Amino acid sequence: MKFRSYFLLGVVLVLAISCKVNPFTGKNVLNFYPNSQVFPMAFAEYDEFIGQNSVLKETSEAKMITKVGQRISSAAERWLSANGYPGYLKDYRWEYNLVKDPTINAWCMPGGKIVFYTGILPICAGETGVAVVMGHEVAHALADHGAQRMSAGTLQQLGAVAGNIAIQDPQSRNMFNQAYGIGSTVGVMLPFSRNHETEADRIGLQIMAIAGYNPDEAAELWRRMKAKSGGQAPPEFLSTHPSNDTRIENLVQWAPQAKEEAKKFGVTDFQ
Which residues are known to be catalytic?
A: 137
Q: At a CB cut-off of 8 Å and minimum separation 6, what does 200 contact?
A: 136, 137, 139, 140, 143, 145
Radius of gyration of the chain (CA): 20
Q: Apex CA 51: angle with CA 129 and CA 73, to 5°?
A: 35
Q: Are 216 and 132 in contact (CB under 8 A)?
A: no
**CA nearest neighbour of 4 among 145, 161, 123, 153:** 161
Q: Are 107 and 137 in contact (CB under 8 A)?
A: yes
Which ranges of 167-232 would DSSP assign to H, the alpha helix?
170-184, 190-210, 217-229
Backbone angles phi, psi at 188, to 5 degrees: -130, -60
CA 195 to chain centre: 9
Amino acid found at 246: T
